[in-house]
Structures are given as C-alpha cells and as structure tokens.
Amino acid sequence: MGLGAVAVAAPLIAPYDPTTIDVYNVLSPPDRAHLFGTDELGRDVLSRMIWGSRVSLKVGFMAVGIAISIGTFLGALAGFYGGKADALIMRFVDIMLAFPTFFLILAVISIMEPRISTIMIVIGVTGWMDVARLVRAEFLTLKEREFVAAAAVLGGSDLRLIFRHIIPNALSPVFVAATFGIAGAILTESGLSFLGLGVQPPEPSWGNILTSGKDNIIVAWWLSLFPGIAILMTVLSYNLVGEGLRDSLDPRLWSAER
C-alpha cells in the first residue's frame, strides 16, 4: 500500500522533475537539496526513484494479470475436460517450463522494441505455467464435488459450471501465486532495465538507476545503494504478503495448527 501511494502521488511528492538535467550538480552526494544525491547527468535520484516506482508496479500488476488470465484459462480447460485436452495443455506447460524463463525473456526482448508494454506482455506470456498447474489441480478436485454435480444435473452448461461454480472456489492459490508473481515481475523488470533491455532512459526505472550506479560505483555509491534497497524491500514485502496469504488461505495449515 505504501509503495502504491508513492506511485500514485509521484507528481506531487517528487521534489524535482526526474528527467531534468543539471550540469552543475553532476554526481552530487546526498545532501539537503538532493536527499539521495544526483546521477551522472545531475538528475535527482530520489525523484527518479519515486517515478520509477510507477514503472515497477505497472509492470508487476499488468504482467501478473496477463499471466493469471492465461494460466487460469488453460488450467481450467485442462482440469475440467481432462483426457486429450489435459494431456495436450500439460505437455505444452512442460515444454514452456523446460526453457529458462529469464533467458527466454531476454531472447524475445532483444528482437523487439524495449518498451514498458513489451516488457509487461513478455513477462506475462512467459509466467503463466505455475498458475495453470495450480488451477488444474483445483479443478480436478472441485469438479467432483456435490455442488458441481448438482449444478450439472440442473442443466448448467460447461461455461456456467466453470465460471460460476468452480473458478470462484479455485482462486485461493491463484491469489497467493499472484502476490509472488508481482515480486518476480518487479525483479525481472529491474534486471532487464539494468541490462539495458528494459525501460529506456530518460524514463526512470530502478533498474536503469542501478546501471548508472554500476558505471560510477567508485565515486557514486548512492546510485547503487538506494535503488538496491528499494528493490530488496519491495520484493521482500510482496513475498512476505504471499506467505501470509498462503498460511491464511490453506485449510491444511489450519488443521496442522489445531
């Protein structure tokens, strides 16, 4: 919530324009005027990090939204219909899992224009496999329940059974996977931007601020320290939220505690 508030209020709370160049304050260390210092072009690092939070959250939520949509759809088909549909979809999942995800993303991004929209789509399209497996497992269990059988006897169509009766009861593990997925997407976007294949300057991103830090590591430690801490704390926070959701939504853990 805190990071979301910072991202939404970025135009109001950022002390400077994140793209304004100031040749008289190049690589200035943190002081009262620039709390996080400036980069090699004199741009305020704090302002760039505040605006960069928008990029991180946008990529995280949109990429996970794409991954969940694809994974839920394919997992529902595999789990509900079984048979050849299940075998075909799950073999496709196995093939996708055989590729190292980050290197697959690198290969796709390298031949496309590195824009935010491209990054979101590529991360989402390469990150749906775990969601598909989770949804399939839930469907295999839920489709045998009495309430689904009763709805089928009453004449419910396949679409009604899937979207009205089964999917609402299969979303608990999806919420958990989504929380972990946001953390992973933010980390992936930062890595791509650090390598120069993500968000392109002058648009601010935590990853391309780290690139500036790498190039000036000896004389400007703040360019590596502050965005590094921001990425660490954000990813750690989402992972902890995911752990909490998993503990609260998994009835097997309740039984173990009792």
Summarize pLDDT for 90-110 with one digit per residue, the tens.
999 999 888 887 788 888 877
Residues 226-242 have pLDDT tens digits of: 999 999 999 999 888 88
Does residue 28 fall inside a structural domain? no
Q: Name residue 44's beta-bridge partners.
A: 38
pLDDT of residue 254: 47
Does residue 258 fall inside a structural domain? no
Which of 236, 192, 206, 232 has its CA nearest to residue 63?
A: 192
Instruction: Please identify every stretch of the chain with a pLDDT value under 70, giving residue numbers as ranges.
Output: 1, 250-258
Does residue 6 fall inside a structural domain? no
Does residue 10 fall inside a structural domain? no
Which of 59, 61, 37 has its CA nearest to residue 49?
A: 37
- HSE-up of 225 (CA within 13 Å, CB side)? 11
Handedness of CA 131, 135, 138, 141 (dihedral sign): negative
Vertex 97 angle, CA 54 and 139, to 5°:
85
Does residue 98 fall inside a structural domain? yes
Compute the distance between CA of residue 78 and CA of residue 142 in angstroms, rounded to an integer. 13
Does residue 61 fall inside a structural domain? yes
Q: What predicted TM-score, i.e. pTM, was given to this entire model?
A: 0.86
Asked if residues 39 and 208 have their Cβ atoms less than 8 Å apart, the reply is no
Where does residue 167 rank: exposed (0-12), middle (13-18), buried (19+ CB within 10 A)?
buried
> What CATH number does residue 116 fall under?
1.10.3720.10
pLDDT of residue 255: 46
CA-to-CA separations, 241 to 95, 114, 180, 200, 235, in angstroms, rounded: 30, 30, 8, 30, 10
Does residue 56 fall inside a structural domain? yes
pLDDT of residue 248: 79
Q: What is the DSSP letter of 31?
A: -
62: left (phi over 0), alpha (psi -120 to 50) or beta: alpha
pLDDT of residue 68: 93
Domain extent at residue 229: 44-250
Does residue 166 fall inside a structural domain? yes
Number of domains in the chain: 1
